[in-house]
Amino acid sequence: EPLRLHRASSPSARIARARELLEMVGIDPDLHEHYPRQLSGGQQQRVAIARSLALDPTLLVCDEPTSALDVSIQAEILALLSDLRERLSLSMLFVTHNLAVAQKLCDRIIVMADGLIVESAPTDVLFSRPSHPYTAALLAAVLPAHRDPLPPQPRPEPVHGGSLVEIAPGHWVRRDSEDTTLPATTPESGRDDLQPATPQENR
């Protein structure tokens, strides 16, 4: 369908491209005429990924790409996405509640609460040094048993307003105007928007 709507090509060319895309995501190209009900959940997700690649995007938005899959299939899909990212030089934006997925695949993580960005940092920094109370409480609730636990965190208050402050290079945290717990090291005043990231940062 994307090929038919956005690219002028013959039916035979569209079929050839569909077969190529299916093979790219690990599906037998001969299944290109199958209906969704004839495919497993993992195969359906692979087809969805193939369709999203049909027009050669530079940015792929993955909204909860593994939430409906069992654990073994989740691992396969994540491995596929990681491989495609490297092979096709793709930038990927993951929307997920699964922090393990974010930690495994993302170079940078943005944490949102109540519709606002509360923290944005490189993945290793965010997991080792969370600076917003909401982020700290979130990580404290899900850290694996082999990790040293974070100190007990009070229940975070709802997020209302405030502005993003850069407390270290590339590490932004939302701070209320009356909050003095975070160092104000930003070279400019706090702001509600982040500078556009490079494709590498968006992966």
pLDDT tens, 135-181? 998 888 875 655 566 566 566 666 677 899 999 999 999 987 555 55
Do residues 112 and 68 share a domain? no
Residue 70 belongs to domain with CATH number: 3.40.50.300
Give me the sheet containing 171-175, strands edge to edge. 108-113, 116-122, 171-175, 163-168
Do residues 86 and 168 share a domain? no
Do residues 81 and 138 share a domain? no
What number of CA atoms fall less than 13 Å from residue 30's CA on the CB side?
0
Give a yes or no: residue 101 inside a domain.
no
Is the whole model's pTM more than 0.75, yes or no?
no
Contacting residues for 105 by C-beta, under 8 A, at least 6 apart? 78, 81, 82, 85, 92, 94, 203
Domain count, the chain: 2
Do residues 27 and 73 share a domain? yes
Do residues 147 and 87 share a domain? no
**111 within 8 A of 117, measured Cβ to Cβ:** yes
Specify the amino acid at residue 79: A
Do residues 124 and 90 share a domain? no
pLDDT of residue 145: 53
**135 within 8 A of 119, measured Cβ to Cβ:** yes
Domain that holds residue 147: 107-203
Q: Report d(CA 100, CA 202) in Å as an integer.
A: 17
Q: Is 186 helix (H, G, I), strand (E, B) or coil?
A: coil
Average pLDDT, consecutive stretches of 10 residues, N- to C-terminus, the chain (203 residues) = 75 90 95 92 94 93 89 92 95 92 92 93 95 90 62 65 90 77 43 39 42
